[in-house]
Amino acid sequence: MSAFHSRRGPLPVSRHQYCFPPGALFCGPVLQPPAGPAGFPSPPPRLNRLWFVQNLIDDYKPQDLRKYGNLDKIPVNLQEVGTGYRSWFGVINWLSLGIFFAAIAFIYAKSSMMLISANELASNLSQRYEQLYAVLHGLETDLWIVIIAMSVFLAWGARRFLKQTSVYLLDFVVLDPDLEYMIDRDFFMQRSRDSGFFTDQALDFQEKILRRSGLGDHTYFPPGIVISPMDLSMQSARDEFLYVAGKCCDELFQKTGVDPSKIDLIVVNCSLFNPTPSLSAMIINRYKMRDNIRNYNLSGMGCSAGVISLDLAKDLLQVHGASNCLVISTENITQNWYHGNQRNLLLSNCLFRMGCAAVLLTNKPQYASRAKYELLHTVRVHHGASDESLEAVYQIEDPDNLIGVRLSKDLINVVSKTLRSNLTTLGPLILPISEQLKFFINLVQTKYLGFKNIPRYTPDFRKAVQHFCIHAGGRAVIDGLEQNLQLTPDDVLPSRATLNRVGNTSSSSIWYELSFIEYSARIKKGDRIWQIAFGSGMKCNSAIWKALRPIHDRSRDGFWALTGGDGLADDALEALARVHKHLAKIDSRKKPAGKAVN
C-alpha cells in the first residue's frame, strides 16, 4: 500500500479507493447504491454514496432520483445571491465613471451660475444699455445650447461606461472524424483483448460498463489506439491533437471566411496533455499566424474548461477592441488510455472518446449581423478554498504506480454545494422577476420565519432558458440535473444524444450538444442557451447565449443521423423521434409541389 500527502497528512491508497480520470462523472444525483450484482462486491461503507457505481454497475432505477440528489438540504448563501446582482456592474471602470459624472456636475453648476448672472446683469442694465442687453440675451441662448449638448453627451457617456462590449459567436465546429476512426462496442472489446493488457475479469467488467454507459456504436478513438499495434507515444498524442484541432479549425475558417492571419487571440484548453511547446503554439505554427498574436493554454481544468475558456476570451475581448478570438476545447485520449486491471481506473476507457470543438468569437460590430449568438453571461464558482473541495478529486499514483484520480467520499456533498452556488449566482442574472420573488419569499419563510414544513423552492429555469447543454459526463450527470432543475426529456435530449453519439468528450461536449440543438432546427431568434459543466477543484461553470437569428445547421445531418440504438432509454428515443418528425415536416415544406405520378 502506498500513500500520498495532502494538507491533512498522508492519505492511504488502497484497493477500496475509487480512481477515475479527470472529468469522469463529476456530478449527478446523490444516489446510494445497493449491494452490487452477482460477481461484484458491494462498495465499502465509507464510499456507499458514490452514485456513479450504482448507475454504471447496477440496474438503473430512475425512481431513485426522487429520493436522492435533491438540492433542498443545502443552505442558501446570501452572499452568492448578491454576487449575481453585482455582476451586472462588474466591468464598470468606477474611477473613470466617477470623474465623468463629476465633470458633468461641474459644467451644469457653472452653466447655471452663468445663466443666473446673465439674467440679473441684463435686468439691471436693460434701461440704460439696450445694446448690452441684446448681447447678454444672446449669451443666455448659447448657454441653453451648451446644457442640451452636455445632456446628450451625458447620455452617451452613461451608455458607454455601463454597457459591456458585446461578444459574438461567429460560428463553431465540432469534430466529425474520418470513418476509419469510428468504433463500436465489439471493436472496443476486441481491441482490449488483442492488447494483452487486461485479464478476463477486467474485460468482463468493461463489457458490463459499456452496456450501461449510454454510449452508442458510432464513437471515435484516436489513431494511436485504433492502429495495431497501438502507439501511445508522445508523438502519437501530438498527432492526435493536430488531427482533431486542425480538422475543426480548417472547417471553421472555411465556414466563416476568416483568414487565420486575422486571429488576434487564441485560447486552447486540454486537461491531461500539456507538452512543450504548448498546444496553442502548435496551432500558431500550423496556420502561420501573426507574431503579435496573444495565446493562452489552459490545463488541469477538467470537463468545465470549455466554459472557462469562454470566460477568459470574454474578458480579453473587453480589453482588446476589434479583435477575433479562436477557442479550441479538446481532451487527449492517446496517453490517457489506462492499460491496467484496476476496475476503478477502467471506467475512463469505457466512457471517454475522441472529440474537439473550435469556436470563433469576436467583438467587431460589423460581424454582428453574421453572428449566430451573443454571449450574455458567464458564471464561475470555485470552492477550492475548502480542503474538502480541493481533495474531492485528486490525482495520485495507485499501488501499481499507474496515475489516476481519487474521488473522495465527500464528492457528492461538494458537487451539490458547488451546483447550488452556481445556480444561486446565475439566478438573478437570467430569471424573470416572478421567479425571483417566489425564491425570496420561500427563502424568508424557511430561513428567517422558521417554516420547516415548507420545501425549499427551486426556481423554474425553463422560464429563462429555452435550450440546455448539460455536460455529457455520464447518465447520472444528466439524470441528476434533469431531476434537480425539473427538466423534460426534450430538454436533456441534446446531452443524451451527445453521450450516445460521441461519448464523454470532456470540455467539448457542451459544443456537441449545441450542434445537436442546431441540427434539430428549434433555435429561434431571441432564444437563450445555457451551457453548464463541472470540473475538479471543485468548480461549476455556466455560460448563457442569446440567439441572434433562427438557426438550422444542415452541415451535420449525416453526423447526427447515427444517433440512437440501445444506448438510449425509451423516453430519450421518443424525444429523438419527435425531433425527426419535426425535421421531416420542415423538409416537406421546402419541397416544391409536383404533379402526381401514376
pLDDT value at 362 more than 90: yes
Highest mean pLDDT among 60-69, 238-247, 553-562: 238-247
> What's the confidence (pLDDT) of residue 43?
41
**pLDDT > 50? residue 589:** yes
Tell me the DSSP string of 532-554: EEEETTTEEEEEEEEESS-B--G
What is the arithmetic mean of pLDDT over 62-72? Answer: 44
Check whether 303 has a pLDDT greater than 60.
yes
Burial zone of 361 (CB within 10 Å; 0-12 exposed, 13-18 middle, 19+ buried): buried
Q: How many helices (H) and strands (E) does the chain have?
A: 19, 15
pLDDT above 70: percentage of residues in the chain: 73
pLDDT of residue 288: 97
Instruction: Please tell me the predicted confidence (pLDDT) of residue 25.
Output: 38
Q: What average pLDDT does range 8-36 have in this prediction?
A: 40
SS3 letters for 45-81? Answer: HHHCCCHHHHHHHCCCCHHHHHCCCCHHHCCCCHHHH
- Listed by start position, the domains of the chain span 78-87+167-586, 92-162
SS3 322: coil
**What pLDDT score was predicted for residue 73?**
57
List the single range of 342-346, 384-388, 504-508 with lowest mean pLDDT: 342-346
Residue 128 corresponds to which cell in the numbers above? 440704460
- Asked if pLDDT for residue 62 goes beyond 60, the answer is no
**pLDDT over 70 at 77, yes or no:** no
Reply yes or no on whether 218 is catalytic: no
- Give residue-wise pLDDT tens across range 460-501: 999 999 999 999 988 878 888 888 888 999 999 999 999 999
Q: What is the DSSP letter of 352?
A: B
Q: Which residue has the higher pLDDT, 12 or 179?
A: 179
78-87+167-586 classified as CATH 3.40.47.10: yes
d(C-alpha 146, C-alpha 150), whole Å: 6
Average pLDDT over the chain reads: 80
Give the largest Cα separation in the chain, rounded.
Answer: 116
> To which residue does cell 496551432 refer?
283
Q: Is 471 one of the annotated active-site residues of the chain?
A: yes
Which of 221-225, 271-275, 554-558 comes out lowest in average pLDDT? Answer: 554-558
Q: How far is CA 192 from the centre of its chain?
A: 32
**Residue in 77, 320, 382, 413 annotated catalytic:** 382
Helices (H), 323-432: 343-351, 387-390, 411-430
Can you tell me the distance from the alpha carbon of 478 to that of 510, in angstroms, rounded to the nearest whole number?
12
Residues 362-376: b if buried by 16+ CB within 10 A, e if exposed: bbbeebeeebbbebb
CB 8 within 8 A of CB 387: yes
As a whole number of angstroms, the distance between CA 157 and CA 100 comes to 8
Catalytic option among 442, 500, 504, 541: 504
Sorted by sequence, the CB contacts under 8 Å of residue 514 that are 6+ apart come out as: 172, 467, 469, 494, 529, 531
pLDDT-based confidence at residue 360 (cuts at 50, 70, 90):
very high
Count CA atoms closer than 13 A to 85's CA, side-chain side.
Answer: 6
Active site residue 77: no
pLDDT at 79: 58
Residue among 25, 18, 68, 5 at smallest CA distance from 476: 25
According to DSSP, the residues that pair with 297 across neighbouring strands are: 268
What φ, ψ does residue 536 adopt, rounded to 5°? -65, 155
pLDDT of residue 570: 87
Higher pLDDT, 413 or 187: 187
Q: What pLDDT is attached to residue 444?
A: 85
Q: Has 504 been annotated as catalytic?
A: yes
Give how far the C-alpha of residue 174 lies from the chain's centroid of Cα atoms, to the nearest Å: 14
The pLDDT tens digits of the residues spanning 315-327 come to 999 999 899 999 9
Residue 218 has pLDDT above 90, yes or no: yes
**What is the pLDDT, as a whole number, of residue 473?**
83
Residue 289: what residue type? Answer: M
Residue 92, SS3 per DSSP: coil
Amino acid 100: pLDDT: 63
Among 27, 356, 471, 484, the one annotated catalytic:
471
pLDDT tens track for 383-419:
989 888 888 777 777 777 877 767 676 777 787 788 8
pLDDT at position 3: 41
pLDDT digits (tens, 9 = 90+) for 119-135: 665 666 555 556 656 66
pLDDT at 276 over 70: yes
Cα–Cα separations (whole angstroms), residue 49 to 20, 22, 44, 439: 16, 19, 10, 29
Distance CA 75, CA 80 (A): 11
HSE-CB at 585 with a 13 A cutoff on CA atoms is 9
**Cβ neighbours for 229, distance < 8 A, ≥ 6 positions apart:** none
User: What's the CA angle centered on 471, arms 469 and 473, to 5 degrees?
Assistant: 150
Contact criterion met (CB below 8 Å) for 461 and 48: no
Quick check: is 303 catalytic?
Answer: yes
Sign of the alpha-carbon torsion through 465, 467, 469, 472: positive
Catalytic residue among 27, 249, 270, 303: 303
Q: What angle is formed at CA 534 by the lines to CA 532 and CA 537, rounded to 5 degrees? A: 145
